[in-house]
Amino acid sequence: MSRTATGIAAILLLFLFVSSTFAAIAPVSNSFSSSKISESLLSSGSNLQRVIVYGSGEIEALSSDMRVTYTLGGRDNFFAFGNLDRSSLANLASLPEVIKVFPDVKLDYNDSRLDTQGGLIQTDMYRVRSLLGADKVNSVLNVTGAGVKVAVVDTGTDFGNPELTGAIARDKKGIPLQLDPDGSGIILTNNTATKLVNSSGVYLDLVKDGAGTKVHVYLGAAGYPWVVQSVRWNFFNFKIGTDPEHYIVSKSGIYHFGIGYEGTPGGGLLFPTLVVDSKIAGAYDTVYVDLETAPRISTFLLGSFLPYNVESDQSFWGKPAHRIGDGSEAIASDFNGDGMPDISAGMIGARTLDVFGAITSGKSNFDFDIGALNGTLLAPMDPNGNYVGVMYDFQGHGTQTAANIASRGTNSYDVYANGTKYRLEGVAPGSQVIAVKGIYIGDIFYGWMWTSGFDYDPNLRQWVYSGNHRAELISNSWGISSWPILASGMGYDVVSALEDAL
């Protein structure tokens, strides 16, 4: 562990020792004691338990009873973050390494779209800029936030929003800096097919003369304990070209297909996804998403009622090609031709934490083998074509927050329906956004460490400082800083301690 990471761990553990909560914990013993488990966990009826374990000794001892995604601390004292089946709680608590098991607290975001009192929703961002003086700072001083990366720890960010498409933060190689430590942004594309040519065009042969193709669909926590579910796809073949001279080319001849799942307030959305090796055989680099067919599939397979009036064309042909690093990562479509997207799948290129071990080195979990360690922070896209990382906003709050900061003001809006249009720039319209999806407090810790320049090594169970912060600023629009794990005053809790240390 680097000296910086060690110092942060020491500060956190100091807060543990002075806490009156931990002072009351009984000495560790080999026998199971219900006092080791938080009362809220004991009373919870949920099968999936997201937990934070405070312990001492060998962290690996916990792996038999919980999926450890990351840790803070070391051998003497540690926090372990992860999830487990409710039936494993007693076994976990019986381990001598475990001092206390806490629930990973779910964050409560306010969604203004769900407000029943319309007067609470104010679309006055242009006035806020004036009140803050941001408009004068931007225009007179020419200070727009250009070159500044802001991490927005929230419900995710929808970069399909045209005001934010140009605000995607990137590393020096042009790769997007987007993080999903909650593990929801994975599209499995490890289902393969070849092309089928007939008189009406070129198709992705998924039906295979009625035999169909077994398609793995990653649902994450929404489908727990069936994090990955399978469907036998024998409904229709997707079109990928018009004739043998005009079609989407796979250099190897092996096309990778998948169905992405994204949960939204309006119901689940399923996105047909195609991945091809467009330049070098075996090096998968290009993604196509059939947004026009997504509503039909979502209704058929999930029963979702979606307000999209669009004809399902069952085709990848004619759809935009998305590649990581060239500015085409955003996935959105305008169905009615008014110049504004009607549907969005967010963007490809996010780094997603594999919290459920869906992409593991063994076949026992989900009947396939892609080859990564449990709890691995996945690359933005698998070069072998087996998965794609995506960033999307499951609620809308994160996109609103990001727009308040970095909206480009590219479009004009008739806010009051009186013919007067306004451009809705953020307070720093030149800044770039690092979206960090934070649904639980454990996601927040991981997001803070990563955006502050740390990388987690799952082999060593340690954070290693890269030498540079990824973000200059971190936005946290998810609540106050107190946390019930410690009986401490506000500002003296472990959340505030980590924030101060970073």
Q: What is the pLDDT of residues 159-210, one digit of tens each?
A: 999 999 999 999 999 999 999 999 999 999 999 999 999 999 999 999 999 9
Lowest mean pLDDT among 25-34, 206-215, 407-416, 491-500: 25-34
Output the pTM of the full model. 0.89
What mean pLDDT is predicted for residues 1-12?
A: 56
And the tokens for 334? 């305008």
Residue 491: Cβ within 10 Å count: 13
What mean pLDDT is predicted for residues 90-111?
A: 88
What mean pLDDT is predicted for residues 480-502?
A: 66
Q: How far is CA 80 from CA 66, 69, 132, 484, in A?
A: 10, 8, 42, 17
And the tokens for 122? 């104010």
Has residue 27 got a pLDDT over 60?
no
Residue with tokens 């009873």: 65
Interior/surface letters 186-223, b for 16+ CB within 10 angstroms, e for the rest: bbbbbbbbebbeeeebbbbbbbeeeeebebbbbbbbee
Specify the DSSP class assigned to residue 106.
B
387-410 tens-digit pLDDT:
999 999 998 999 999 999 999 999
DSSP H helical ranges for 315-422: 397-406
Spell out the residues 6+ positions from residue 205 whose beta carbon is closer than 8 angstroms to its own.
Answer: 193, 194, 195, 196, 237
The strand ranges marked E within 355-471 are 387-391, 408-413, 422-425, 432-437, 454-457, 462-465
DSSP H helical ranges for 48-120: 89-94
Has residue 491 got a pLDDT over 50?
yes
| Percent residues over pLDDT 90 in the chain | 62
333-355 tens-digit pLDDT:
999 888 889 999 999 999 999 98
Q: Give the pLDDT confidence score for residue 56 in this predicted structure.
A: 94
More confident residue, 352 or 2: 352
pLDDT band at 17 (very low <50, low <70, confident <90, very high): very low
pLDDT band at 371 (very low <50, low <70, confident <90, very high): very low
Q: How far is CA 179 from CA 241, 348, 366, 440, 442, in A?
A: 34, 11, 24, 14, 14
Has residue 18 got a pLDDT over 80?
no
Q: Give the pLDDT confidence score for residue 361 in this predicted structure.
A: 46
Bond into 181 cis (ω within 30): no
Q: Give the pLDDT confidence score for residue 362 in this predicted structure.
A: 43
What mean pLDDT is predicted for residues 30-48?
A: 76
More confident residue, 125 or 218: 218
Has residue 364 got a pLDDT over 80?
no
Has residue 26 got a pLDDT over 60?
no
Q: Give the pLDDT confidence score for residue 21 in this predicted structure.
A: 40
| Average pLDDT score over the chain | 86
pLDDT band at 118 (very low <50, low <70, confident <90, very high): low
Residue with tokens 């100091």: 14
Has residue 471 got a pLDDT over 70?
yes
pLDDT band at 6 (very low <50, low <70, confident <90, very high): low
- 3-105 to CATH, choices 3.30.750.200, 3.30.70.80, 3.20.20.70, 3.30.70.790: 3.30.70.80
Q: Give the pLDDT confidence score for residue 258 in this predicted structure.
A: 97
Residue 10: Cβ within 10 Å count: 14
Q: Give the pLDDT confidence score for residue 497 in this predicted structure.
A: 77
Mean pLDDT: which of 87-91, 112-116, 478-482 is highest? 87-91
Q: Give the pLDDT confidence score for residue 125 in this predicted structure.
A: 64
Lowest mean pLDDT among 313-317, 369-373, 463-467: 369-373
Judge contact between 358 and 351, C-beta under 8 A.
no
Has residue 84 got a pLDDT over 70?
yes
pLDDT band at 20 (very low <50, low <70, confident <90, very high): very low
In the chain, where the domains are located: 3-105, 187-345
Specify the DSSP class assigned to residue 501.
H
